[in-house]
Amino acid sequence: MEESFEVIISSFLKDQIGLSDNFLGTVLSKDLQGNLLQLLLEKQLKTAGIGQKERFVENKLIRNDLIYWLDRKHHDVHENTFFDFMDAFVKYLNETCYTGITSYEFHYAFYDTGSFYKKHLDQFKGNNSRVYSMIMYLNEDWQPNDGGELCVYPFGKAQNIAPLNGKCVFFKSDQLEHEVLLSHQPRMSITGWLKSDA
């Protein structure tokens, strides 16, 4: 587990973007993908929006994905296994990098064919609690012409990251602009933020 943590931390320190090809492991990734597909079948996913509280709006010209928030209150064995894993990662991150992370939030994200999310930062105006962004992909057999890449802009230069199954992306929420390019196939992930109340 710690080896997986070190991979993503080391690449982040080098390139502003942490990358791991199999962060959650094959079994947990498959279980979470199954959860997401079942929630989709049950029509539990909701249209995502932008902004927070009174500034929250749905704008399908900016983003048109569907989401479902993970929560221990769901008493779902796979969600709780995921949270246990993230607890271990946050503990390791705080102990080795002194990041001061105190909480997190994660949701499933489903981009249907033709979906996208325009360039943005992951921090709300007037609220800087989000410190690090994380995206973990759940797409088996993803092909280069399927689109849906995460386009990030480290050092001002565009870099595309394919949403390959098991891949995790980690970056500073307030520093790295990014966007989800047009997806030509249904695209699935868990997306979230490590937060600090300081």
What CATH number did the domain enclosing 12 receive? 2.60.120.620
List beta partners, residue 87.
none
As for how many domains the chain has, the answer is 1
* Model pLDDT, residue 128: 87
**Domain span including residue 31:** 2-195
DSSP letter, residue 140: T
The C-alpha atoms of residue 61 and residue 56 are separated, in whole angstroms, by 15
| pTM summary value | 0.92
* Model pLDDT, residue 39: 97
- All residue ranges of the chain with pLDDT < 50 are none
* Model pLDDT, residue 69: 97
Length in residues, the chain = 198
* Model pLDDT, residue 59: 64
81 touches 133 (CB < 8 A): no
* Model pLDDT, residue 93: 97
51 touches 57 (CB < 8 A): yes
